[in-house]
């Protein structure tokens, strides 16, 4: 039987995969690229927080991917460059979800965001398995 922290980490990772699945699904006509980028950002954020929980650490209450990665450095030996590049996802945590707070997101920007989120979720999945 897995310890409680490991079970909780797996649940965080399941939520990350849920956000990733929504982001990767075909875009409904009425949906905004910004909203799909938010799901990509949430996938990466929840995956990284799963890693904190897996190691029995408290995670910062932040949507900043860069801050989460920086804090992970204190107890995770190697963080791949693909994960470090995902810090750009932080831009999709808040501002792009609200009308007029920023420029519209393009499909190309979304594809980049999705690739970053997939890299983070894949890395964390391999790390906790």
Query: What is the extent of the structural domain holding 103?
Result: 4-128
Residues 94 and 75: their CA atoms lie apart, in Å, by: 28
> Domain of 120: which CATH number?
1.20.120.330
Which tens digits make up the pLDDT trace of 78-124?
Answer: 999 999 999 999 999 988 888 888 889 999 999 999 999 999 999 99
> Across residues 69-78, what is the average pLDDT?
92
Per the prediction, the chain carries an average pLDDT of 94
Confidence of residue 37 (pLDDT cuts 50, 70, 90): very high
**What is residue 97's predicted lDDT score, i.e. its pLDDT?**
81
Of the listed ranges 38-42, 51-55, 61-65, 92-96, the one predicted with least confidence: 92-96
Which residue shows structure tokens 């450095």?
Answer: 73
**What is residue 109's predicted lDDT score, i.e. its pLDDT?**
97
Instruction: Quote the number of domains for the chain.
Output: 1
**What is residue 24's predicted lDDT score, i.e. its pLDDT?**
97
Residues 43 and 55: their CA atoms lie apart, in Å, by: 19
Question: What number of other Cβ atoms are within 10 A of residue 52's Cβ?
Answer: 20
């Amino acid at each position: 039987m897995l310890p409680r922290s490991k079970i909780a980490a797996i649940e965080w990772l399941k939520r990350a995969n849920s956000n990733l699945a929504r982001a990767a699904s075909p875009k409904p006509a009425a949906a905004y690229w910004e909203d799909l980028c938010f799901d990509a950002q949430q996938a990466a954020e929840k995956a990284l927080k799963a890693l904190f929980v897996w190691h029995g650490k408290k995670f910062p209450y932040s949507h900043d991917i860069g801050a989460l990665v920086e804090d992970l450095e204190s107890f995770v030996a190697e963080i791949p460059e693909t994960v470090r590049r995902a810090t750009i996802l932080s831009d999709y945590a808040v501002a792009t979800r609200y009308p007029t707070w920023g420029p519209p997101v393009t499909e190309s920007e979304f594809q980049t965001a999705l690739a970053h989120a997939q890299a983070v979720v894949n890395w964390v999945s391999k790390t906790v398995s």
